[in-house]
Amino acid sequence: MNHFQRRNGELCAEEISLERLARAYGTPLYVYSSATLRRHWKVLDRSLTGLRHLVCYAAKANANLAVLDLLARLGAGFDIVSGGELYRVLQAGGAPRKVVYSGVGKTDEEIAFALSQGVKCLNVESGPELGRISVVARRLGVRAPISLRVNPDVDPRTHPYIATGLKTSKFGVSVEDARRLYTVAAGDPAIDVRGVACHIGSQITTVVPFLDAIARVRALVRDLGRSGVRLRHIDIGGGLGIQYSDENPPHPDEYGAAVKRAMKGWSGEVILEPGRVLVGNAGVLLTRVLFLKRSGRKRFAVVDAGMNDLVRPSLYDAHHDIELVGGEARPEGTIDVVGPVCESSDFLARGRRMAVPEAGDLLCVRSAGAYGFSMSSSYNARPRAAEVLVDGDVARLVRKRETWPDLVRGERARPAGRRFPAPRRIG
Ligand code: LLP
């Protein structure tokens, strides 16, 4: 359920016509719905009633300050994967004690930043990383709260680029390695062992892989308990899928019920790291049709949003529904919706059966709230889009459209040079 619905034939974000938003703020434009964000939060959180839990929203899905602020006010914690994401969370007023820090490549600087801010937990993804955390914690004179991210080796049956819990993936450590590393961690005075974490992938559309992963993690937790390593939390990651077209992902109620069943008998805390399910269908991308074009047999609608604005179709062959915002009658046809970027992979839809728009029509690309803006770039020197957050009949510009001067900020064509002496040959 989302709040992008038609009113008198015209597609709206809550109470505001998308056409009016496009006129006011220009295109391409990301539009988010507060009511949808709140609703998605409530449905997921409610589904976990009875379980001692903390929902740590995966900021990477959409890290706009206004989105983080809205979720923080609802009580969300955050799952972050970089110092920059922690900075964003803090800027938005998020509480560090509700932050878990995942990621395979944390730098010393990022580890120090997280420890000095007092994050809840660092999810450790390798032995060498554990070593670095210990060194940095000692230097700062603190104990580092950690979980090991284990790789339960289950197949999430999703796009290979977003499967993360397989044996062959770069993420996490195997269950066997985890046993050894927990002993190392438990014996290190600079390390405070808090829990265990796993995340098996994204856009998962059945509960089975989640249950398999939880079962394997719980078996490990039991073994650790027997050998004297007691954990306070189990972090089951994110990954719950959403409907982009004809997928049929479990409703959060079904997911929550399954998690509760799988966690029976566990008296500690359960942490979740959902991203897409909270924000995916709470956002759309608006784009204006520039031209209609034919090439041989193919028909193209050339629009003003490109793969730099929304890379998911190019990168994962992902499907996003696209519809006309106005109620115009347009004949059906099969077209490619393509952007202005100089790459053949620059498309929002290929061979799509849809109402064929005319130049000047406004298109709404659905389900763009997750991994839309956050993966956007300024490739082809295209300023990044603006972002608007709607609440009822009020719209707020939560990110200004980038300008051409923004594109060259920090660059200089002829800066003063700095000479580095040639290395001396030794011996
Ligand atoms: N926790 C960890 C450790 C993660 O790596 C991820 C996502 C999440 C939580 C949140 O997963 P979610 O609930 O959003 O599925 N760019 C891709 C998705 C990449 C997901 C990466 N990790 C896409 O556009 O489909």
**Angle value at C-alpha 64, between 318 and 347, nearest 5 degrees:** 25
Pairing mode, strands 29-33 and 53-58: unpaired
CATH of domain 4-31+280-406: 2.40.37.10
Residues with CB under 6 A from ligand 1: 58, 61, 79, 102, 162, 164, 199, 202-203, 237-240, 273-277, 312, 316, 370-371, 375
Which two tokens mark 374?
């956050």
Note whether 199 and 164 are within 8 A (CB): yes
**Angle value at C-alpha 26, between 379 and 338, nearest 5 degrees:** 50
Q: What is the chain's pLDDT, residue by residue, as a tens digit (427 residues)?
A: 789 999 999 999 999 999 999 999 999 999 999 999 999 999 999 999 999 999 999 999 999 999 999 999 999 999 999 999 999 999 999 999 999 999 999 999 999 999 999 999 999 999 999 999 999 999 999 999 999 999 998 887 777 766 676 677 888 999 999 999 999 999 999 999 999 999 999 999 999 999 999 999 999 999 999 999 999 999 999 999 999 999 999 999 999 999 999 999 999 999 999 999 999 999 999 999 999 999 999 999 999 999 999 999 999 999 999 999 998 889 999 999 999 999 999 999 999 999 999 999 999 999 999 999 999 999 999 999 999 999 999 999 999 999 999 999 999 999 999 999 998 887 6
Give the per-residue pLDDT at 1.
76
Distance from C-alpha of 79 to C-alpha of 233, rounded to nearest angstrom: 15
Distance (angstroms) between ligand 1 centre and the Cα of 60 equals: 7
Helices marked H in 147-288:
175-186, 208-226, 252-262, 276-279
Residue type, 376: S
Distance (angstroms) between ligand 1 centre and the Cα of 323 equals: 26
Pocket test for ligand 1, best of 67, 199, 202, 365 (most atoms within 8 A of CB): 202
Give the per-residue pLDDT at 157.
76
414 DSSP assignment: S
How buried is residue 302: exposed, middle or buried, by Cβ count under 10 Å (0-12/13-18/19+)?
A: middle
Instruction: Tell the CATH superfamily of the 34-276 domain.
Output: Alanine racemase (3.20.20.10)
- Taking the mean position of all CA atoms in its chain, how far away is CA 269? 23
Q: CB-based contacts of 17: which residues, under 8 Å, 6+ apart?
A: 7, 10, 11, 325
Helices marked H in 245-392:
252-262, 276-279, 312-316
Note whether 276 and 242 are within 8 A (CB): yes
| Residues with a known catalytic role | 342
Domain boundaries, the chain: 4-31+280-406, 34-276
Distance from C-alpha of 79 to C-alpha of 234, rounded to nearest angstrom: 14
Buried b (16+ CB within 10 A) or exposed e, 394-404: ebeebbebbee
